[in-house]
Amino acid sequence: MKKIVNNLSGNITNTPPIWLMRQAGRYLPEYRETRAKAGSFLELCYNPELAAEVTLQPLRRYNFDAAILFADILLIPQALGLDLSFVAGEGPKLSTVRTAHEIEQLKPVDDIHDTLSPIYETVKILAKELPDETALIGFAGSPWTVATYMIEGQGSKDHARARRWLYEDFSGFMSLITMIEEATIEYLSMQIQAGAEIVKLFDSWAGALPYDYINIVSIEPMQRIFAELKKRHPHIKTIAFPRGIGAAYELANVPEFDCVAIDASVSMEWASTVLGGKCLQGNLDPMTMIVGGDVLKREARKIVDQMKDKPFIFNLGHGITPEANPDHVHDLLEAVRG
């Protein structure tokens, strides 16, 4: 069994498996070169050969235990009919959905594959080309996090429009969540059929929700997605990443999540108490990948020591940043496995 799948099954290995969020990305010169060749970030996402190439690039440099499909969480809104573009230096721009009537104007969920089929081709190429011991992770955004982009039309600091809709017209708001949920089930189901062995839901903005809504808006939609996927594909392993919810991490102790990814704002030791010994992933501060040296080794060892008798996957608390030094990844691997 692949090392990471072993830990996701609740077992403990000698040293933890490791991969990094955004391991394919702008900190690697070869990624920047391939993106330029593709023309733009979105053209890269929809080009199966080049998307597979950038997924494999970090694996050629580093002996990670998993590869994560190269794509983006905003492809589902695009497949549902929203205009999407990435403006250099500004991030994503989307057309918006702000009323129940506008939800009805979206394309039907059954049509998403017209747009998303190149992504399934990327997964097929990866399933064929990855070394036997490397697991393949598919992913999507959580319904809440994807909804924030559809409602705001861009990245946002406070997600004010999304939270306001939630209070003013809860049932209209929840019908958007439900639609994203249904699309995500079909999208991830196709990724699994194409060869993804693990699926992860990124709920990057869960921490913006008020406590009383975390369960119903963040956790439960992710549970329903994973429950349906496990029904269709009993072998599939699941990771949920409700980022930034602090004390509310206890709400993520649900059977549909084989693993919960933890951000750097809480200690792994605390998380593992609250989450009852469930497999956890995390949680090194991405800043240490810029700083490097003894700081990187010390902070990484601290996490490994805290989690040494527990099912655990080493990762960062959030994605590796464009400013990270690629050489520091070798030092991290040595610190974690040494």
CB 136 within 8 Å of CB 127: yes
- Pick 109 or 316: Cβ nearer ligand 1CP: 316
149 annotated active-site: yes
**27, 120, 149, 249: which is the annotated catalytic residue?**
149
Which residue from 46, 64, 70, 165 is in contact with ligand 1CP, where contact means CB under 6 A? Answer: 70
* Amino acid, single-letter form, for residue 260: V
Q: Is 62 in the site for ligand 1CP (CB under 6 A)?
A: no
For residues 164, 165, 169 and 171, what is the CA-based torsion angle, rounded to 10 degrees? -130
83 annotated active-site: no
Of the candidate spans 18-26, 231-239, 265-273, 304-312, the one that interacts with ligand 1CP by CB under 6 A turns out to be: 18-26
Tokens of 335: 């610190």
Nearest residue to ligand 1CP, scored by beta-carbon proximity: 155
Q: Mark 120-159 with x for binding to ligand 1CP (rule: CB under 6 A) and - for no binding.
A: -------------------x---------------x----
* Largest CA-CA distance found in the chain, in angstroms, rounded: 57
DSSP sequence for 40-105: SHHHHHT-HHHHHHHHHHHHHHS--SEEE----TTHHHHHTT--EEEETTTEEEE----SHHHHHT
Tokens of 133: 């011991």
Q: Is 199 in the site for ligand 1CP (CB under 6 A)?
A: no
- Pick 92 or 242: Cβ nearer ligand 1CP: 92
Q: Which of 79, 114, 78 is nearest to 93 (CA)?
A: 78
Which residue from 38, 50, 74, 112 is in contact with ligand 1CP, where contact means CB under 6 A? Answer: 74
Of the candidate spans 64-72, 121-129, 169-177, 261-269, the one that interacts with ligand 1CP by CB under 6 A turns out to be: 64-72
Which residue from 53, 72, 182, 331 is in contact with ligand 1CP, where contact means CB under 6 A? Answer: 72
26 annotated active-site: yes
Q: Is 41 in the site for ligand 1CP (CB under 6 A)?
A: yes
Give the integer Cα–Cα distance in Å for 192 and 215: 26
Which residue from 28, 50, 73, 261 is in contact with ligand 1CP, where contact means CB under 6 A? Answer: 73
Tokens of 328: 């520091």
Q: Is 22 in the site for ligand 1CP (CB under 6 A)?
A: yes
Alpha helices per DSSP H over the chain: 3-8, 29-38, 41-45, 48-61, 75-79, 100-104, 112-129, 143-152, 160-168, 170-194, 211-213, 220-232, 268-274, 288-291, 293-306, 326-337
**Strands 84-87 vs 91-94: parallel, antiparallel or unpaired:** antiparallel
**27, 31, 65, 72: which is the annotated catalytic residue?**
72
167 annotated active-site: no
Tokens of 201: 């839901």
Q: Considering only residues 79-108, where is the footprint of ligand 1CP by CB under 6 A?
A: 91-92
Tokens of 286: 């991405």
Of the candidate spans 72-80, 223-231, 250-258, 283-291, the one that interacts with ligand 1CP by CB under 6 A turns out to be: 72-80
SS3 39: coil
- Pick 23 or 218: Cβ nearer ligand 1CP: 23
Indicate which residues carry an active-site annotation.
22, 26, 35, 72, 149
| Contact set with ligand 1CP (CB under 6 A) | 21-26, 35, 41, 68, 70, 72-74, 91-92, 139, 155, 202, 204, 319
